[in-house]
Structure 1
Amino acid sequence: MFQVKQFDDLTTDTLYQLLKLRVDVFVVEQNCPYPEVDGIDQDCLHLFTEEEGVITSYCRLIPPGVMYHEPSIGRILVHPDYRKKVLGRQLVSEAIRVIKDEFNPSDIKIHAQVYLYDFYSSFGFEPVSEEYLEDGILHVDMILSNRDSKR
């Protein structure tokens, strides 16, 4: 079951788990030292699943005007012990649904790691930038146009 919470509605235990999981995946697992806590979490909605007290999947939903003109989905991850269970696909589908319900956008923008290009394309996201290197990892900006959504 998905949970969506404002930053102030997260318990300290849940916030700690979310931040630890993000660091474990994006900094440690991907061997990419960068400032994971970037100062915008307080403005975001936090979408996640939990099983027996363990956060199993997570992303943050960034309102329009905070990072981009469009709303955005960021920090998309599945706990390493829960991968290969289609949680990632379910998470992105739910994130798109929540963003459409909350913000009624014409577009949704993501800052995607290139190795996940086909995954995001399967939802209808299309590239809007050239590939670029950020923190040692190739990225591409992608847009899901509301009229093109394949939810």
Structure 2
Amino acid sequence: MSTTKNLSDLQWQCATFAELSNLQLHAIYQARAAVFILEQNCAYQDVDGKDPVSHHLIAWTPEGEVAAYLRIVPAGISFAEASLGRVISTQDWRGTGVGKALIANGIKALHALYPAATIRIGAQAYLEKFYGSFGFETVSDIYLEDDIPHLEMLLVAKA
């Protein structure tokens, strides 16, 4: 069995919370817990009430596992602006370019839902250059969130 990970093998899905099956939701929560709680050693409330009002962008493997994920949060929930959050690429898929594909697809999906929306994110500080490569600009000082340095970044809508 080949262990090569190809982005072309992934199935992308953008869905509301209600459109996700129980098994899909379970896989998403399992992936988020693996990254945020176990890998990053953060004890925090991942299931925060924002999922039911958000859209969810998932890159599914042929085996039905999560390769990458983010949620698209409407304006007025996390920030005044619409936002991308809970951004992950799972351990097996890191280094494949899935993170870049996830952010590019996330921006595209958010703008399909909210045309011309400005996007604000709370990014882990070490990813500032990564998000900057998509046009996000830093708009805050570094702050701690769950003992991890973060900063707010903005992708201003094109007029």
TM-score normalized with structure 2 length: 0.90
> What secondary structure does 1:98 align onto?
helix
Contact preservation (8 Å) 2:116, 2:158 = no
> What secondary structure does 1:8 align onto?
coil
Contact preservation (8 Å) 1:7, 1:43 = yes
Q: Percent identity?
A: 38
Contact preservation (8 Å) 1:71, 1:105 = no
Q: Return 5+ residue gaps in structure 1 as ranges.
A: none
- The Cα shift of 1:147 comes to 2.5
Partner of 2:20: 10
Q: 2:77 aligns with which of 53, 57, 66?
A: 66
- The Cα shift of 1:69 comes to 1.4
- The Cα shift of 1:122 comes to 0.5
More helix by share: 1
Q: List 4+ stretches of structure 1 deviating above 2 A.
A: none
Letter in structure 1 aligned against 2:40: Q
TM-score normalized with structure 1 length: 0.95
Q: Return 5+ residue gaps in structure 2 as ranges.
A: 1-10
- Correspondence list, 1:46-85, <5 A: 46-51=56-61, 52-85=63-96
Distance 2:45 2:55 in 1: 20
Please tell me the root mean square deviation across aligned C-alpha atoms, in Å.
1.1
Partner of 1:26: 36
Distance 2:64 2:119 in 1: 31
Distance 1:135 1:71 in 2: 22
Partner of 1:42: 52
- The Cα shift of 1:65 comes to 1.5
Say yes or no: does 1:141 pair with 2:152: yes
Partner of 1:88: 99
Distance 2:122 2:116 in 1: 17
